[in-house]
Structure 1
Amino acid sequence: MTLLVVGSTGTLGRQVVRRALDEGYKVRCLVRSPKKAAFLKEWGAELVPGNLCYPETLKPALEGVTAVIDAATARPTDSLSIKQVDWDGKVALIQAAKAAGVERFIFFSLLDVDKYPEVPLMEIKRCTEIFLAQSGLNYTILQLCGFMQGLVGQYAIPILEKQAVWITGESSPIAYMDTQDIAKFAIAALKVPETENKTFPVVGTRAWSAEELISLCERLSGQEARITRMPINLLRTVRHVSRFFQWGWNVSDRLAFAEVMATGKPLAAPMDEVYQVFGLNPDETTTVETYMQEYFSRIMKKLKELDYEKLKTKKKAPKKTPFKKPQ
């Protein structure tokens, strides 16, 4: 089976590639920049140049492909809008996959997309789910809600560097999941007939609020966090102002998504039945505690090593004297 992974250089996409290769699949990656994706080639994947926003590049990439795993999404810093990438691009990809006779299509969506029609990214994901379901392709939709990898930059690093940790509105508990575990579900779906033409939540073992995550990071780092709260009305003002500028459209759309995480409503779902369908063991899923503990263990060890090296260098440095050595 040959897989085409779209969004393969992203936080989730690269883990999908790694997992697929480890399980013996032939993996092809659609990439905009082969240079930036060189590490995927080193792993053993085939790189094909292409871009979701240029439909003519998709047909060659799909030749001989059995299944597509779509992990692509627009980034806040992209010059292209969320609509261009996450709607126009996905529609083109689904149509091209159907024309190429692709047997399976795995799509990553978001949890509770039907509850937030005012949030551009979630509404686009909802519409894409409908379009995929009506395309005639044999599909599986996995609805996610948060990556553990993002917790490092959001909480761990600011606390270690004694910088402010920002919390917006009433913190919504989120069931974060390690992208390596999400990749397991995506690859498992290819082998389980019961996942065909269905939608599943794929979320972590429990939902964590911002306050709980900060407390965990404080305990593991031994440092106290500097918490700064941004009023939800200020966030909305920034979002509306950024809409006046084309360069701010993606930022505005992402800020709209940030409002979802400030409602106080949990982003989580029961997973017992999902694990049974996919044939995966929930006990092997990484927990937030384990993930953060491993991160802090590595970083604290590194910091101690750096301090030790500085101390050795200082001891070796020659002492300065006001007296000149005799000639």
Structure 2
Amino acid sequence: MSLLIVGGTGTLGRQIVLQALTKGYPVRCLVRNFRKANFLKEWGAELIYGDLSRPETIPPCMQGISAVIDASTSRPSDEDILKTVDWDGKLALIEAAKAANIQRFVFCSSQNLEQFLNIPLMEMKYGIEIKLKESEIPYTIFRLAGFYQGLIEQYAIPVLENLPILVTNENTCVSYMDTQDIAKFCLRSLQLPQTTNKTFVLGGPKGWVSSEIISLCEQLAGQSAKVNRVPLAILKLVSQLFGFFEWGQNISDRLAFAEILNVENNFSKSTFDLYKTFKIEANEVNQLDDYFLEYFIRLLKRLRDINFEDIQKQKNLII
């Protein structure tokens, strides 16, 4: 089975590419910038030019392809660009996949879409889910929560740099997940006929509230965090004032995404049944505390290496 991966340079997409290559899949990546995507080529993927904002570039990418995995998402503040890519472009991607008789289309979506149709990106993702179901292409949709990788910027770095952390006064559990594990589920779905034409709400084995994540970072960093609690009502108002969001790029991004994740979900109640469907054991999924521990260990090692290099430079200057 040959794969076309859209969004291969992204946080999730690159993990899908790497694991697919490791498993022996022929992988083609739709890219706009060959220089930025060169690392994918070095891994062994084929790069082909394609741009969701230019629908005519998409059909040639489908030649010889069996399955499409779309892990892409836009991050513009300009709604016109957003519509061009995440609506018009994704519709063109589905149409091209149908014309090419694609055997499976895996779409990475977001959780709680129905509650946030007032947010343009959420509305478009919801609409694309509907269009994909109507296309008659065999599909698998994964509705995802936050990534472990995003929590580094949101919690770990502020604790380390003694910066304030904005949290709501809600205590909602969110089942964050490592992108490596999400990639594992995406690829496993291609091997399991029972996952065809299904939508799965995918989350980690444990739900975490903000206070637990902050406490974990404090323990690993050996210092206290500056926490500013913001009522959810004020969060919504501030998010509207700052406009459309862009994850990790600006304050409106973080505020809006925090609002989405603050909707109660039932990840933890159905997680183990979901893992059973995909034939994945719970101990195969990376835990958040293990992920953070590894991050802090790597960081401390890097700081020690930098300190050693500085000492060596000082010695050389003295000599």
The answer to whether the 8 A contact 1:73-1:82 is kept is no
Measured against aligned partners, the alpha-carbon deviations of 1:114-136 in whole angstroms (never above 9, x if no partner) come to: 23333332232222111111101
Aligned residue number for residue 75 of structure 2: 75
Distance in structure 2 (CA, Å) of the matches to 1:256 and 1:153: 16
Cα distance in 1 for partners of 2:148, 2:253 equals 22
Q: After the TM superposition, which residues 56-75 of structure 1 pair with which residues of structure 2 at under 5 Å, given as runs?
A: 56-75=56-75
Q: Return the letter of the residue paired with 1:103.
A: Q
User: Identity, % of aligned pairs?
Assistant: 47
Q: Partner amino acid for 1:83?
A: K
**1:66-114 superposed Cα distances (whole Å, 9 cap, x missing partner):** 0000001001467864333222221111111001111110011112322
Shift, 1:42, TM fit? 0.3
In 1: Cα distance, 2:297 partner to 2:51 partner: 39
Give the aligned partner of residue 196 of structure 2: 196
Structure-2 separation of matches of 1:30 and 1:158: 35
Asked if 1:7 is matched to 2:7, the reply is yes
Separation in structure 2 between the aligned mates of residue 281 and residue 65 of structure 1, nearest angstrom: 30
Deviations 1:163-202 (A, max 9, x none): 2222245353211110000001111111111111111122
Against the structure 1 CA distance between its residues 78 and 147, is the aligned structure 2 distance closer, same or farther, given a 3 Å change threshold? farther
Tell me what 1:282 maps to: 282
Partner of 1:151, secondary structure, is helix
Q: Secondary structure at the match of 2:229?
A: strand
1:144 aligns with 2:182: no
Query: What amino acid is the match of 2:75?
Result: R
- Comparing 290-299 with 200-209, greater Cα deviation is found at 200-209
Quick one: structure 1 residues 311 and 253, their matched pair in 2 at CA, closer, same or farther if it must change by over 3 Å? closer
1:101 and 2:95 are equivalent in the alignment: no
TM superposition shift of 1:65: 0.7
Separation of aligned partners in 2, 1:64 and 1:27: 11
Residues 254-293 of structure 1 aligned to structure 2 (within 5 Å): 255-262=255-262, 265-266=264-265, 268-269=267-268, 270-293=270-293
With normalisation by structure 2, the TM-score equals: 0.90
**C-alpha distance in 1 between matches for 2:26 and 2:285:** 25
- Superposed CA deviations along residues 186-232 of structure 1, whole A, max 9, x for unmatched, are 11111111111111122111111111111000001101111223454
| 1:178 and 2:165 are equivalent in the alignment | no
- Residues 236-295 of structure 1: per-residue CA shift (max 9 Å, x gap): 44443445xxxx6767677544322345x3473422222122122221100001000000
**Highest CA radius of gyration, 1 or 2?**
1
Q: 1:149 to 1:106 in 2, by over 3 A?
A: same
C-alpha distance in structure 1 between counterparts of 2:184 and 2:78, whole Å: 28
Structure-to-structure mapping, 1:1-327, within 5 angstroms = 1-76=1-76, 81-170=81-170, 172-243=172-243, 255-262=255-262, 265-266=264-265, 268-269=267-268, 270-314=270-314, 317-318=317-318
Q: Mind listing any 5+ residue stretches in structure 2 that lack a counterpart?
A: none
Distance 2:154 2:182 in 1: 20
How many residue pairs align between the two structures?
314
| Cα distance in structure 1, aligned partners of 2:163 and 2:253 | 26
Which AA in structure 2 matches 1:215?
S
Using the size of structure 1 for normalisation, the TM-score is: 0.88
Match of 1:322 in 2: none
- Please tell me whether the aligned partners of residues 220 and 296 of structure 1 are also in contact (alpha carbons under 8 angstroms): yes
Does the 8 A contact of 2:205 with 2:272 survive in 1? no
Tell me how large the CA RMSD over aligned residues is. Answer: 2.3
Find the counterpart in structure 2 of residue 325 from structure 1: none
1:253, 1:307 → 2: CA distance? 35
Alignment check: 8 A CA contact 2:107 2:139 kept: yes
